Structure 1
Amino acid sequence: MTAMKNALLIAAACLLALLSTIGASLPYPILPPLFASGAANGLNQFMGLPPKLLFGVAIMINPLGLLIGSALLGPMSDRYGRRPVLLLTACGAALGHAVTAVAMLLESYPLFLAARFATGLLEGNGAVARAMLAERLDGPLRLRAIAWLNGAFHLGWLAGPLLAGLTVGFGVTVPFWIAVGALLAVALLVALALPGEAPSTLTTSWWQVARDRHALNLLRHGELRTLFAAQLAATCGVTAFYEYYPLWLVEFAGYDTQGIAAINVALCGVMTLASLSAGRAGDGPPLRRAACFAFGIAAAVGLVGAGGLWLGMAGIVLFGIPNAYYNATVQNWAAERFSGHGMGAVMGLLSTTFCLANILMALAGSVLTLIDTRLILLLGAGLSAWAGWRLLAWRPMAAPMNLSEARK
């Protein structure tokens, strides 16, 4: 019975992770024709602004919601419980996709932005799913479950554009309605997989939790500041790669949309398979292993930025291996080391760091790509290499901090 409950728990978490990244990536093949085809519509003619500017804002607004949701939802689940937060956010994200579909039918740009932001905010529940697994599982099973969860996140970036491409021919809003049905089904699975939780005896309001217990408050603690700095540098390399390797393929390999999609399939397939095997316990200190994987990320991204065509292509496909192992190692170690701070807040900090890295690399890339696209990739490789050095040199305290010490 326990094995069945654990299987349902892991399945619910992985499906939520899959659908959160599907929701984020779903519009990527849908929006460009709406904004750049030259045909006027309510979405690309808002307030007389250039369509490409409107498109850029439309793409950015969902990750902005993810950033805020990742910082807030984990601590919220520490206060109100994993089950109610996951149920509320899954149903709310389904509603967000429904409103997105309505906004596209009405060609209402403001409503579209509001829906995409709210959906991103609620799909920041990946931190809650991570916290749920880290809290309810232990030992090798927890390590495997977190690795599988990461694999589900990676797979979503592949499945979202594929779902949109396969179904958009039936109507531009059809992919969003499919996402609505899938999220509601997963909410039902969460309700079945997670037992009811005893009401919290705390009296703090949701606003007090959002203000005083958000994930970034953990930066008051020295070891978590060190983790944040190393994680931010490592994920800057990761996000520089994600955001700009398609542009590199266009400029230096002459790839079109179909070619980029084929390479993306190979990358996501390798990364998903690596995530499944990353769940095995490794030998040696976890920080040393994480440092080696950060160096591996730097090497793969560096091959794209500085290598020739074929070395760069190899770097793109092989990038998924060190990235999958790095994530599994760091997240499992952080769960064991900093659980006294609240598992939701700790996993929220890791998720927030990734979202922040996305924004920073997008801003840096908007300048560096005007000179040469390879510069932003080399910057990302350098930052990941620095993260590896920092993790290698880090000597944490001998024992993890307990709950009472964490709250002083």
Structure 2
Amino acid sequence: MKNALLIATACLLGLLSTTGASLPYPILPPLFVNGAPDSLTHFLGLPPKLLFALALMVNPIGLLLGTAVLGSLSDRYGRRPLLLVTAVGAAIGHVLTAWALASRSYPLFLVARFGTGLLEGHSAIVRAMLADRLQGPLRNHALSWLNGALHLGWLVGPLLAGFTIAWGLTIPFYIAAGALLLGAALVGFALERKPRAAGPSWWSVARERHAFNLLRHDGLRALFGVQLAYTCGVTAFYEFYPLWLVEVGHYDTRAIALVNVGMCGLMTCSALFAGRASRTEPMRRAAWLAACVALAIGSLGVGHLWVGLVGIMAFGLPHAFYNAVVQAWAADRFGGGHGQGAVMGLLSTTFCLANILMAAAGAVLTLVDTRLVLLTGAILTAWAANRMRAWGSGAMAGLPPAA
């Protein structure tokens, strides 16, 4: 398959994946904070903010389980069949989400979001597909372009929600389901079918070759630790800056979507150029970028609307470059020895775990002040920046050099 078609297919799947994951972000805060009390927003008489945080948490739990094993399963069974199953399954999950909203069923909403997350964890598969079919600068650029498509999904999802919700609360989810079915059709056309090789069952692969098995290795365990801290800050920002906008600026779904357009637009444009080579050691470069991300997240803790808006917009630039640096470095350093699917799965799984942890923390902290979640995220990201700086300079005892 030609490289251009390979890259285009990967980028489209990445775009559709994060579009679906980010779709509820501008919908849920106004729905739970300002919506009329009913069986969805006041389920069992629980506080709406708590229900909102749980709704945020359940999708990443599914993503965590999916990304932990999907990359390794694709190493064993091939990228094409796994991508087909996950794309169609995620489309069904969006349809179930729409039904849950229409019927005002909070339990069904949680089940649907969990199932969608479980099958939307195929970003590890598309990263691995690029990592093991491309080499050198082209691979770095392709991974960066894929990151751009993933970032663009964080723009398209909220934008889709903001500008179609006037037609009905369920319409954005039906549109996302249709787009995923089109993506599945493209996978069937663009990726060649390969004969299935004999080997262990899918359950054996999932149990024995999941991404967390990589934590037995010192270098990958260190990467997991700093990446988890960094992504805790990022997911705290993603999950709770819309709620911050509702509380501080009294924004509605459309206004939140417009702010997201500015942030993700800058992030997407930055990702297109983030794969360029640099003479700076990768971990030291990542450390400076993570510090800038921490500063942007921390600006929301001031509680001033315009200061926070500047921070939201500025967030996208260093985050896009950080992703390009760390993913390309991990593919070069660890992918050959441990399998690109497993390594990319570990990175994706780390992001999902961070989503769960910060949604759980937010369920408690937002009952006091939403800014506490964002400040906690900024502190964790700053800590990660410090650890990456130490690793890049060879100051982390017991670890091999980062270069």
Q: Do the structures match in fold with TM over 0.5?
A: yes
One-letter amino acid of the structure 1 residue matched with residue 324 of structure 2: A
What is the CA distance between 1:51 and its match in structure 2?
7.3
Report the RMSD for the aligned CA atoms in angstroms.
Answer: 2.7
Matched, 1:123 2:120: yes
Structure 2 unaligned residues grouped into runs of 5+: none
Matched, 1:189 2:210: no
How many residue pairs get aligned? The number is: 394
SS in 1 for 2:278: coil
Q: Identity over the aligned pairs, expressed in percent? A: 64
In the TM superposition, what whole-angstrom CA distance separates every residue of 1:288-323 from its partner, at most 9, and x where no partner exists? Answer: 211121122122223333596544332221111110
Structure 2 counterpart of 1:389, from 386, 391, 395: 386
> Which residue of structure 1 lines up, in the alignment, with residue 167 of structure 2?
170
Q: Retained in 1: the 8 A contact 2:162–2:254? A: no
What is the CA distance between 1:252 and its match in structure 2?
4.6
* Correspondence 1:231-250 to 2 at 5 A: 231-250=227-246
Give the distance between the partners of 1:371 and 1:108, measured in 2 at CA. Answer: 27
Give the distance between the partners of 2:357 and 2:100, measured in 1 at CA. Answer: 29
> Which residue of structure 1 lines up, in the alignment, with residue 326 of structure 2?
330
Structure 1 counterpart of 2:359, from 358, 362, 378: 362
Give the distance between the partners of 1:331 and 1:59, measured in 2 at CA. Answer: 25
Structure 1 counterpart of 2:157, from 142, 157, 160: 160
In the TM superposition, what whole-angstrom CA distance separates every residue of 1:226-274 from its partner, at most 9, and x where no partner exists? Answer: 0001101111221222233334444555655554333222111111111
Give the distance between the partners of 2:376 and 2:341, measured in 1 at CA. Answer: 31
> Which residue of structure 1 lines up, in the alignment, with residue 219 of structure 2?
223
One-letter amino acid of the structure 1 residue matched with residue 138 of structure 2: L
One-letter amino acid of the structure 1 residue matched with residue 239 of structure 2: E
Give the distance between the partners of 2:136 and 2:326, measured in 1 at CA. Answer: 15
> Which residue of structure 1 lines up, in the alignment, with residue 273 of structure 2?
277
One-letter amino acid of the structure 1 residue matched with residue 311 of structure 2: G
- Bigger drift between 98-107 and 228-237 goes to 98-107
SS in 1 for 2:233: helix
Structure 1 counterpart of 2:22, from 25, 28, 47: 25
Give the distance between the partners of 2:104 and 2:242, measured in 1 at CA. Answer: 29
Give the distance between the partners of 1:45 and 1:302, measured in 2 at CA. Answer: 31
> Which residue of structure 2 lines up, in the alignment, with residue 85 of structure 1?
82
Structure 2 counterpart of 1:68, from 57, 65, 68: 65
One-letter amino acid of the structure 2 residue matched with residue 231 of structure 1: Q
One-letter amino acid of the structure 1 residue matched with residue 186 of structure 2: L
Structure 1 unaligned residues grouped into runs of 5+: 401-408
In the TM superposition, what whole-angstrom CA distance separates every residue of 1:7-47 from its partner, at most 9, and x where no partner exists? Answer: 21111111111111121222344556766633646x4576x
What is the CA distance between 1:124 and its match in structure 2?
0.7
> Which residue of structure 1 lines up, in the alignment, with residue 111 of structure 2?
114
TM-score, structure 1 normalization:
0.87
Give the distance between the partners of 1:79 and 1:361, measured in 2 at CA. Answer: 32
CA separation of 1:352/1:373 partners in 2, compared to 1, >3 Å: closer, same or farther? same
> Which residue of structure 1 lines up, in the alignment, with residue 12 of structure 2?
15
Structure 1 counterpart of 2:146, from 132, 144, 149: 149
One-letter amino acid of the structure 1 residue matched with residue 182 of structure 2: A
What is the CA distance between 1:104 and its match in structure 2?
4.3
One-letter amino acid of the structure 2 residue matched with residue 27 of structure 1: P
Give the distance between the partners of 1:232 and 1:268, measured in 2 at CA. Answer: 22
